[in-house]
Chain A
Amino acid sequence: MDWKSFWGEGMELTKEEREMLEGKQGNAVKKSMEILVALGEIYGAKRLIGIESVQIAGVSYHNLGDAGLEYLAELAKDGKARVLTTLNPAGMDLKDWKKLGISDEFAEKQVKVIEAFEKMGVTVTCTCTPYLIGNLPLYGQHIAWSESSAVCFANSAIGARTNREGGPSSIASALTGKTPEYGLHLEENRQAQVKVKVNAKIDTVPKFGAIGKVVGERIGNKIPLIEGIEKATLEQLKSLSASIATFGGTALFHIKGITPNRTSEPRESIEVSEREITQAIESMSDTEEIDFVGVGCPHASIKEIQEIAALLKGKTVKKEFWVCTARQTKELADKMGYTEKIEKAGAKIAADTCMAVAPIKGKYRGMMTNSAKASYYAAGHNAFKTKIGSIRECVEEATK
């Protein structure tokens, strides 16, 4: 049998790539090339291609554990990021972790994780919305991102090209500047597979979350061409990207008249009714006993923080209330006086982290959020009951 069982033979590697694989550029590059070549072989890539940027998921010590930390420290010995590389949220606010009730032991380990990335030359942003704070790819650019919501946003709303990477494979791409060319890097794999006719008015963040849940659950990781949504804001597409990736696993969607990618017309077609949207919202609302309110999944934009600050003005929250965002967005909120208004009301702005990755299991029972993705992780990971509503409704719940 003529099996190409020797690794690296199915792909055409350049002389330099061979040398990288053989360890001539150090151990971290060698390990990284082994990962990229193996993935290329598995998915039938013909070659490696250069990338513009990387987003790394798997930053919370909560998910990494000591072994993950050890792996990062090992890579950091001689590995250096070759393209702009940013990080997903950590398990805590890196400055004000004490106010979130994080233990000293956890904080110490989390700081070590961040230090390892810093040593690799990674820009330690700690946000799931890198596109809001300086890691904004352009249409058609190849990137290697993990963090399913950011992957979906970059592919769909921007038109950049990335597969849904895992933590280690995205690091491998950062340390080599390369990714195997397969999947969503290729035009033919970016075509819509199912047309989704929406017979409902989708005009709020929770409803964009709900349509993501309905479509994700009905078509899984197939690529939809959604019709019937008239307009969308950045915040709404951010929410849809998170939800459709969480509930269905897809890394790309098209919305007629809104998203920039070209696509052929799919043959398969489904319809989504108003009732399905209502049911999806009801299914994410199984409690009225709320002791925790969380906004900012994906991380809140400056516009959302401005809205929260205005709504909280002169009020006092009676429940734990987190607004999760990127450090850079918080600094802007500080400058604009939004942080002061929010904190005066007793709520907290948590930078660098979020309610999905912070170690808060067992601390609360019922969480209200504007995010379908946050509700999924709250119910699964943290065993909370949940309620979903707009930012205005979240503030009303927190202050009543």
Chain B
Amino acid sequence: MKLRGRTISKGKAEGEALVSKEAISFYGGVDPETGIIVEKGHFLEGKSIAGKILVFPQGKGSTVGSYAIYRLKKGGKAPKAIINKECETIVAVGAIISEIPCVDHVDIEKIKNGTKVRVDAENGVVEF
């Protein structure tokens, strides 16, 4: 299937989808050293976002979250790409400064957890 969206941060990536039904807070909600989601009761609590195509509706929480994404990238624990339903400031800025491909306005309900996904954020296309 081929889904079209909007480019937020350029680049291309391929990998396994990790899908969250809930928003993610990168400052406080994700361990910056391990990439594991630590927010209590979160849909993905205990799962690692490292090396995944991370699919979630949108970001939430403190604007320091943008630096937290950058910290994950520098430590090799960032997702390979980000797919959002509606990207907001924190994730957009985090993805751009970290050079993580990011696409939004994608019908994320169609993407199943564990699916192999190709993200072409140059053209705003998601394929699986």
Residues of chain A at the chain B interface (Cβ within 8 Å): 1, 3-7, 31, 34-35, 38-39, 41-42, 57-58, 63-68, 70-71, 146, 165-169
Q: Is B10 an interface residue (CB 8 A)?
A: yes
In the complex, B19 has a CB within 8 A of chain A: no
B70 within 8 A of A: yes
Cβ-defined contact, B4 with A1, below 8 A: yes
Whether the Cβ atoms of B4 and A3 lie closer than 8 Å is yes
Map CB proximity to A onto B90-128 as digits: 1 under 8 Å, 0 otherwise.
101100110000001000000000000000000111000
Q: List 17 A-B contacts (CB under 8 A).
A: A5-B6, A5-B7, A5-B124, A7-B10, A34-B96, A42-B8, A57-B63, A58-B63, A63-B27, A63-B67, A65-B32, A65-B71, A67-B32, A67-B70, A67-B72, A71-B70, A166-B66
| B58–chain A nearest beta-carbon distance, Å | 10
**A57, B67: Cα distance in complex, Å:** 12
The answer to whether A42 touches B87, judged by C-beta atoms less than 8 angstroms apart, is yes
Asked if B25 is at the interface of the complex by the 8 Å CB criterion, the answer is: no
Which of B32, B71, B89 interacts with A169 by CB under 8 Å? B89
Asked if residues A5 and B87 are in contact (CB atoms below 8 Å), the reply is no
> Whose C-beta in chain B lies nearest to the C-beta of A169?
B93
Name which residue of chain A comes closest to B95, CB basis.
Answer: A38
Select B67's contact among A5, A34, A41, A67, beta carbons within 8 Å.
A67
A42 to B96, CA, bound (A): 13
A sample of 17 more A-B contacts (CB under 8 A), given A168-B67, A169-B93, is A3-B6, A3-B124, A5-B4, A5-B7, A7-B8, A41-B8, A63-B67, A65-B67, A65-B71, A66-B71, A67-B67, A67-B72, A67-B73, A68-B70, A70-B74, A166-B63, A166-B90
Number of A-B contacts (CB under 8 A): 91
Across the interface, A58 reaches (CB within 8 A) one of B64, B124, B125, namely B64
Q: Is the CB of A39 within 8 A of B93?
A: yes
Name the residue of chain B whose CB is nearest to the CB of A34.
Answer: B96
Q: Quick one: which of B7, B8, B64, B75 contacts A63, CB cutoff 8 A?
A: B64
Across the interface, do A58 and B123 meet the contact criterion of CB distance under 8 Å?
no
Chain B proximity of A28: nearest CB distance (Å): 11
Q: How many residues of B contact A (CB 8 A)?
A: 31
Closest chain B CB from A176 CB (angstroms)? 14
CB within 8 A of B93: which of A63, A68, A166? A166
Distance in Å: Cβ of B93 to nearest Cβ of chain A: 5
* Shortest CB distance A107–B (Å): 20
Is chain B's binding surface mostly helix, strand, loop or mixed? mixed
- Asked if B5 is an interface residue, CB under 8 A from chain A, the answer is yes
Check if B45 is an interface residue, CB within 8 A of chain A.
Answer: no
B88 adjacent to chain A (CB < 8 Å): yes
Contacts of A167 in B (CB 8 A): 63-64, 66-67
CA distance A169 to B7 in the complex (A): 18
Complex contact B71–A35 (CB within 8 A)? no
> Whole-angstrom distance between the alpha carbons of A146 and B7 in the complex?
25
Q: Does B8 lie within 8 Å of A38, measured CB to CB?
A: yes
Knowing A5-B7, A57-B63, the reply to whether A166 touches B71 (Cβ < 8 A) is no
Task: Kindly identify which residue among A3, A5, A35, A64 contacts B97, using a CB–CB cutoff of 8 Å.
Answer: A35
**How far, in angstroms, from A65 to B65 measured CA to CA in the complex?**
12
Q: Find chain A residues with CB under 8 A from B104 CB.
A: 42
Asked if A35 and B7 make an inter-chain contact with CB atoms under 8 angstroms apart, the answer reads no
User: Which positions 1-52 of chain B face chain A at CB distance < 8 Å?
Assistant: 4-10, 27, 32
Let me know if B97 and A39 touch, CB within 8 A. Answer: no
A42–B71 contact, CB under 8 A? no
Chain A residues whose C-beta falls within 8 Å of the C-beta of B32 in the assembled complex: 65, 67
**A67 near B7 (CB under 8 angstroms)?**
no
- Given A38-B92, A166-B63 in contact, is the A6-B7 Cβ separation under 8 Å? yes
Chain A, Cβ-Cβ closest to B7: A7
A147 CB to closest chain B CB, in angstroms? 10
- Which chain A positions have C-beta within 8 A of B125? 5
